[in-house]
Amino acid sequence: MNRLVEIRSQESLCRERAALDLQRRLFWLAQAQEWEQRALDEIAYHFRECNVAQTELGRN
């Protein structure tokens, strides 16, 4: 889950830049959305892996 922390940190940084750089605000908000989607993908991946491991334990 360290990767998730790094991803959320990047998302936050982009949102901060959007607040400070009004000329490129839309760019930074779009970047933040991309990082947010990466975070959601990372969470989904983690749960899929947990479910696979749980299923394998149930078979044994």
Across the range 5-30, mean pLDDT stands at: 98
**pLDDT at position 1:** 73
**pLDDT at position 53:** 66
3-state secondary structure of 60: coil
Q: Higher confidence at residue 54 or residue 8? A: 8
Find the domain containing 38 and state its range. Answer: 2-59
pTM for this entry:
0.79
Q: Is the pLDDT confidence value at 28 over 90?
A: yes
Across the range 39-45, mean pLDDT stands at: 96
**pLDDT at position 50:** 84
How far is it, in rounded angstroms, from Cα 40 to Cα 16? 20
- When divided into structural domains, the chain yields a total of 1
Residue found by looking up tokens 């990047």 in the block = 10
